[in-house]
Amino acid sequence: MDLFSDLPPWVFDWCVVPLLIFFARIIDVSIGTLRVIFVAKGYRLYAPILGFFEVVIWLLAIRQIMNHINNPMCYLGYGLGFAVGNYIGIRLDERLSLGTVLVRVVPKVDTTELSEHLRRAGFGASLVDIEGMSGKLKMIFAIAKRKDLDDLMAIVREHNPQAFVTVEDVKTAQEGHFRTSHSRNASPLGLPGGLRNRK
């Protein structure tokens, strides 16, 4: 590489190449993690685009491994890049807050004020009669955008700090009441109209 032509060969082989492999793996694994998440969330048309860049970057990294197969630092850079790339991909998913979640709230006290507060805040809250060890109760079902989950949980903690809460991802949700001013088919990358699959 002309960019590193002034460096001693040992510096290039033992420092520069492992670092290049390290950063290449961070990028391609981060892209791969997002690709899998996009597929799971229903944004399947992004998968081929992300997959293309993921594989090209991976090929560049593996080529350097093959060219320096006796250099243990390359293996170290490859492994560390994979680990860090997974972490960064997961953090990116958390920052993007894609998708929809189902929240179940089993309260310890009366749910009237909680359900009314959730509805005033724009969340759709449905009440279901249940019976458990504590007797008859009202369980709250709520569907929310993942980016609004923290706000929803703050309301629950305000009224029922000891409530039993479960949260799970919802792959597909149609109609219903969502606390959002954006289209449900919006792009996860903020592009107009989005590329989410329609069923």
Per-residue pLDDT of the chain (199 residues), as tens digits, is 455 556 677 677 778 889 999 999 999 999 998 898 888 777 778 888 999 999 999 998 898 888 888 889 999 999 999 999 999 988 888 888 777 888 999 887 778 888 899 988 888 888 988 887 777 888 998 888 888 899 999 999 998 888 889 998 877 666 666 665 444 445 555 544 444 544 4
Q: Give the C-alpha separation, 100 to 51, whole Å.
A: 24
Range of the structural domain that residue 155 is part of: 100-170
**Biggest CA-to-CA distance, the chain:** 78
184 located within any domain: no
* Domain match, 50 and 118 both: no
Domain end: 96, 115, 142, which one?
96
Q: Nearest Cα to 140, choosing from 122, 159, 153, 127?
A: 127
Domain end: 75, 96, 117, which one?
96
* Domain match, 6 and 19 both: yes
182 located within any domain: no
* Domain match, 78 and 130 both: no
180 located within any domain: no
Residue-wise pLDDT tens digits, 10-67: 677 778 889 999 999 999 999 998 898 888 777 778 888 999 999 999 998 898 888 8
Q: Nearest Cα to 100, choosing from 169, 188, 176?
A: 169
**CATH code (residue 162):** 3.30.70.120
* Domain match, 6 and 28 both: yes
Q: For the CA atoms of 58, 60, 63, 64, what is the dihedral angle to 10 degrees?
A: -110
68 located within any domain: yes
